[in-house]
Amino acid sequence: MKPRDFSVVVALGLCALFLNACESTPKSAPPVTASLVRAGGRVKADAPTLTAGRAVFLNRCIHCHALPNVCRFDAPRLTAIVAKMSRRANLNAAQHDALLKYLLTVRSF
Ligand code: HEC
């Protein structure tokens, strides 16, 4: 590897370390880490709610299509899509609420 190639690898590695979920694309369902929980405060979601929302996303939203990258949508659009998709996935109110909080947190994270 030429020294220049090496610095590209280092730069990419640093990007992966410091960029958040939305900017470092393919992470559609990032795990509930301490920093995600801090971001969740903006939508008044605590760690158990975010964990429940992620579980709903991973288990229920995968039935008809691949997990979408929610960073593609702004918050109002995402809220509308999640309402529609929650009906399709037969979610109850608590599941819908946790899922929406998790996805809004991921997209703002
Ligand atoms: C019963 C099948 C089904 C389930 C379950 C389902 N979806 Fe979908 N989803 C679709 C279909 C079909 C589309 C294509 C666009 C449309 O019909 O609105 C879609 C499209 C989408 C899109 C893209 C919308 C757009 O405007 O580009 C998102 C985001 C999405 N789904 C999220 C979810 C989430 C989150 C869940 C979990 C609650 C979920 N889906 C569960 C069938 C489903």
pTM, 2 dp: 0.84
HSE-CB at 11 with a 13 A cutoff on CA atoms is 6
**Shortest-distance atom of ligand 1 to CA 63:** 5
Rounded distance between C-alpha atoms, residue 58 and residue 19, angstroms: 23
Split into its structural domains, the chain has a count of 1
- Residue in 64, 73, 77, 91 to alter for ligand 1 test, most ligand atoms within 8 A of Cβ: 64
Residue 69: give the domain boundaries.
Answer: 3-108
Q: Is the dihedral of CA 33, 37, 43, 45 positive or negative?
A: positive
The contacts of residue 36 (CB under 8 Å, 6+ apart) are 21, 30, 50, 105, 106, 109
pLDDT digits (tens, 9 = 90+) for 6-32: 555 544 444 444 456 666 555 689 999
- Residue in 59, 85, 96, 101 to alter for ligand 1 test, most ligand atoms within 8 A of Cβ: 85
- Letter for the amino acid at 23? E
pLDDT digits (tens, 9 = 90+) for 48-92: 999 999 999 999 999 999 999 999 999 999 999 999 999 999 999
Residue 94 has pLDDT above 90, yes or no: yes
